[in-house]
Structure formats: structure tokens, C-alpha cells
Amino acid sequence: MMLIRRRRTRGFREIEVLRDDKPVKLYVVLMGFEKCREEAEAALIKEVYGVEVEPEEGAIRAFLESEGTDIYELIMKAGEDKLRKAFPPALIDLLKSWCRDP
């Protein structure tokens, strides 16, 4: 493998390498200050429902079950503006680019 490019942005790191003469991208996503994704999920619940939930997996799961939903439906319901408030904006941009790439 040969390193082609290294990109550092708020929220994730991108490394592009050549493997068998084909470019391959590796992404490392950095989320949260202490509890990783749970912090972003709790922030998203606050954005969508206006309710403070502890950033712990059990508390998040219990809240979502009480609403009859799951994290995937919450993300779909939130929309891009609320997702950008809860998750690092660079991560949202990365996910959008994945949706556009064949």
C-alpha cells in the first residue's frame, strides 16, 4: 500500500491509499468528548423531542422505546439541520458524499 493523501477535518480523519493500484479510502470518525456516540444521540433527542436524556445507551434506548421508535427512525425524522446540531458537521458532509458516490 502507498499513501496518496491524508485529510484531517473536524470530526473525522480520511486516509487514501493505493491497494493493488486502486485508491481506497479509510475513515476514522471521532465523536463525543467522553461517551462517544451516546452524546450525539442524546443531543439529537433534545433537538427532536426537546427532552434531556442521559448520554448512556440504556437511557437512550429506554427513551426511544417509550416513543415507539429507534435511533434509525430518529435520524430520519430529525432532518439535516438537527443532525448538524447534534453530530459533527464534517460527519454529515461525509455521509452525504457517500450517498452521492456510486
Q: Which residues contact 74 (CB under 8 A, 6 or more apart)?
A: 41, 44, 45, 48, 64
Question: What pLDDT, on a 0 to 100 scale, did the predictor assign at position 53?
Answer: 96
Taking the C-alpha atoms of residue 79 and residue 82, their distance in angstroms, rounded to an integer, is 6
Question: Residue 35: pLDDT above 80?
Answer: no
The answer to whether 43 and 33 are in contact (CB under 8 A) is no
Q: What is the pTM of this model?
A: 0.66
15 alpha-carbon distance from chain centroid: 18
Give the residue extent of every domain in the chain: 33-86
Question: What pLDDT, on a 0 to 100 scale, did the predictor assign at position 22?
Answer: 83
2 confidence band (pLDDT: 50, 70, 90): low
